[in-house]
A and B are shown apart, each in its own frame.
Chain A
Amino acid sequence: MSSTDPDHHFVAQDDYDENADIQMLDRADLDAPTWLLIWRRFLRHKLGVASGIYLLVIYLALPFIDFLTPYHYTTRDIEHIYAPPQPVRFVHENYVGLHTYPTEEFFDLETFQVKSKVDWTTPVPIPILSNCGKSYHLLGLFETNFRLICPPEGYTLYLLGTDRLGRDVHSRIMHGAQLSLTVGLIGVTVSFAIGLFLGGAAGYFGGWIDSMVMRAIEIIRSMPELPIWLALSAAIPANWGPVAVFFVISIILGLLDWPGLARAVRSKFLSLREEDYVKAAELMGARPRRIITAHMMPNFMSHLVASATLSIPAMILGETALSFLGLGLRPPAVSWGLMLNDALDLTVVEIYPWLLMPLVPVIMVVLAFSFLGDGLRDALDPYS
């Protein structure tokens, strides 16, 4: 309490600021750390947030795919080849609960097609959280055959039908997600590493290194991606195992993608080099390595993450295209592209449209990554 005032009124010692009331509201924003501002701005992008949550959920579900699917992806059922999707209902007259109906496959002698007949009179309850089918290693720790949903005893549960070998399309789509979704991550890591290294070197050192890298970027960018991808993946020896092929394919996808990132890194470096704090650090004798990692990286890393997010969809689509053309992943691996390989001709669209189902997750995931990337990019300028 100050008491210099002769009338003994309270007088604050600070200078009077007539805008203080208005600024109070903004103060919270101005004092907040940058990441909080970015986060708040990102939350305003509803579509981006929804996409982020969606992607998080499916990526977290990947290790538990065996638990979530009713069948193992290699399980074949020669009694049900090209079976159409089976109906699932909740209410049947006075029976309430998740149930399906028995279906029977028969050969139509008039059209020479496999058809199926649903017996709508007897509902068969679907067992939830029980043991069935082939056993698997949960998280690689212990063997079990405990699953979220199981086909009813003596009946089938083909939620999205079966393919030409009588394998459950639904289970295979979920298993395919494991490879199709990680391909993009590995590819982006590769392109991120190359882009960061080359772009950083070009931007920081300039001179002949810069012009070399820029030439390389120009050359790679003017090569059409798919034919080169095809040529590179055709070079993978035929006797390699599915896992090796998977890794090489993801690296191939990343090899052509780095020019965009390298360019972004280079331009960021060029503009940041002129900043006063970089000069200050240089004058204090910091080494290039320290300046780059401690002072420059934090300033553009978030931009890079956003642009990397935007380049994952291209890789997922690339894997799909390669596998679809038969030069990508190889069976017995399952991926969305490999499953679509069965849908190469028009007959499938006409007679077995459910074989095109893997396209739904492809489109959803690609859209989700695009929205997430857009949201991140918009959020990264919290002061604009």
Chain B
Amino acid sequence: MLTYILRRSITMAWTLLAISVLIFAIINLPDGNYLTNQIRELMVTGEEASIAKAKFLLQQYSLDKPLVEQYAIWLGVWPGPNGFSGILQGDFGYSFELDRPVSDIVTESMWFTIGLNLVVVLFVYMTALPLGALAAVRANTWIDYLTSLIGYLGLATPNFLLALVLMYYGNKAVGLPIGGGMAKEFLDEPMSFAKFGSIMLHMIAPVIVIGTAGMAGMTRRLRANLMDELSKPYVTTAEAKGVSPTRTVVKYPLRMALNPFIADIGNLLPQLVSGSVLVSVVMSLPTIGPILLSALRSQDIFLSGFILLFVSALTLVGMLISDLLLAVVDPRIRLAGKSGNQR
């Protein structure tokens, strides 16, 4: 098991490394960055002091060096003007637009993003499991059709529409709060029970919006897997022996069908993170989504680069957890590693 964890972690680490190269390339695709744009603007007005400051910053963050060197300094494997200080050392760079270090800006929203996605994953699993199982057991009845209808609508409706509609009607019908991460009076308060309650209340609508599409796909796949299992002879045997219907389904077929269900988190997580970025913009949630959008617009490369790396890392860590869970649930997987034959 330990070797399995180790092997998966190493794979994850170097996948992340490859992703960081891609991301650095992507954020440097546009010509110039926030600073060079600013310098160009200042040239027109001719403010010597500001130009000097911008140029100093440019040098300080080694944006005048060739791209490969910039990348190495950004990552922290090459000494910059201030020695080794990159992502690996915990220095995420500086946001030139907001004039603050990146870590200052993103810390709080990072936690909110992680929390939000965690709650959404829980929501997806907790709804998809009973719905999918029900749909499979009661195949071709109204409950099956209802779940597939919800599924299709969940897949076809753009997230942001669902966000708008749910915000509007949720507020009108049951008084759900409109947008934001918590009530205004809690904004700068330390964490308390009331604040936690307020955050949870504000999360209801976004969680439903982000989770619906994922839940739909999950339900359909669980239904298909469980249907396959239910038609196998051992289920008939159990029925013939007089095992109660619930036990017949839950004891073995559901456990078998659960395997792909857990593995599916690899598909689910990137989708959820994508969804949370979009929905956060519409519902003005304090996640990194809106920050990313504005950083991309103003070519604030350190900020956008770090956020992109962070969301990728988030999905990778999620996948790692799902792999480990799968190994816990299914001995075949963790034993496969020992004998040396990979899947």
Contacts and interface: CB of A to CB of B under 8 A. Distances in A.
Contacts of B85: none
B134 to A, nearest CB: 21
B26 A219 contact: no
B315 A219 contact: no
Contacts of A366: 155-156
Given A313-B156, A349-B164, A231 B296 contact: yes
Nearest to B157: A363
A229 to B, nearest CB: 8
Contacts of B319: 222
A367 B156 contact: yes
A320 interface: yes
A285 interface: no
A231 B308 contact: yes
Nearest to A350: B168
Contacts, number: 114
A336 B164 CA distance: 16
Interface residues of B, number: 48
A325 B29 contact: no
B312 A222 contact: yes
A372 interface: no
A235 B29 contact: yes
A20 B37 CA distance: 83
Given A231-B26, A235-B26, A370-B152, A223 B312 contact: yes
B22 interface: yes
A237 B31 contact: yes
A370 B167 CA distance: 27
Interface string B3-42: 0000000000001001100110011011100000000000
Contact of A219 (B22, B153, B178, B278): B22
A359 B162 CA distance: 11
Nearest to A226: B274
A228 B30 CA distance: 14
A224 B273 contact: yes
Contact of B277 (A219, A227, A232): A227
A321 B159 CA distance: 8
Contacts of B161: 340, 356, 359
Interface in A198-225: 215, 218-219, 221-225
A61 B18 CA distance: 45
Interface in B299-319: 299, 304, 307-308, 311-312, 315-316, 319
Contact size range, A: 35 or more
Contacts of A321: 158-160, 278
B interface majority secondary structure: helix
A284 interface: no
A313 B273 CA distance: 19
A159 interface: no
A234 B307 CA distance: 15
Given A343-B164, A370-B156, A224 B18 contact: no
Nearest to B15: A219
Q: Which of B31, B157, B274 has the most CB of A within 10 A?
A: B274
Contacts of A91: none
B178 A227 contact: no
Given A230-B293, A317-B158, A343-B164, A224 B26 contact: no
A222 B26 contact: no
Contacts of A363: 153, 156-157
Given A225-B270, A231-B296, A349-B168, A219 B27 contact: no
Most buried by B among A227, A346, A363: A227
A337 to B, nearest CB: 9
A320 B156 CA distance: 12
Contacts of B311: 224, 227
B270 A346 contact: no
B180 interface: no
A222 B316 contact: yes
A324 interface: yes
Given A227-B274, A231-B26, A344-B282, A221 B266 contact: yes
A320 B158 contact: yes
Contact of A325 (B156, B164, B271, B281): B281
Given A228-B26, A349-B165, A222 B155 contact: no
Nearest to A364: B156
A86 to B, nearest CB: 24
B304 A231 contact: yes
Contact of B292 (A222, A227, A349, A359): A227
Contacts of A265: none
24 contacts: A215-B18, A221-B270, A222-B19, A222-B315, A223-B19, A223-B22, A223-B315, A227-B311, A228-B26, A230-B292, A230-B293, A231-B26, A231-B304, A234-B30, A237-B30, A321-B158, A321-B159, A327-B297, A350-B168, A359-B157, A362-B156, A362-B158, A363-B157, A367-B156
Given A224-B312, A230-B277, A235-B26, 4 more contacts: A222-B270, A223-B315, A230-B293, A234-B296
